[in-house]
Amino acid sequence: MYSLVQPVTHILEIRRSRFLAFVEPVPDRTAAQARVIELHAGCAHAWWALLADAHSSAADDAEPSSTAGRPMLKSCDIRS
């Protein structure tokens, strides 16, 4: 099993849009969901993928279904 040792953040600016990426270790699913809500504050859109315990979930926030969150989840799910 793999674990994230420390948080990683990346910001990409394209034209006048900022894309923020956060990958962080959290103790459990509840803490992860609270962090997503906290990070979403002030954003026009928030796409996210969550791996916690044996569960996963993702959101596409105003994008076509399965085009944002689900691909992120697939790319980071090392269990598959």
Range of the domain at 33: 8-76
Q: For the chain, how many structural domains are there in total? A: 1
2 domain residue, yes or no: no
Write the burial class of residue 48 (CB in 10 Å: 0-12 exposed, 13-18 middle, 19+ buried): buried
43 domain residue, yes or no: yes
22 domain residue, yes or no: yes
DSSP summary character for residue 79: T
pTM over the 0.75 mark? no
For 5-64, the pLDDT digits (tens) are 788 888 888 888 888 888 888 888 788 888 888 887 877 777 777 776 666 777 766 666
CA angle 11, 63, 24 (to 5 degrees): 40
1 domain residue, yes or no: no
72 domain residue, yes or no: yes
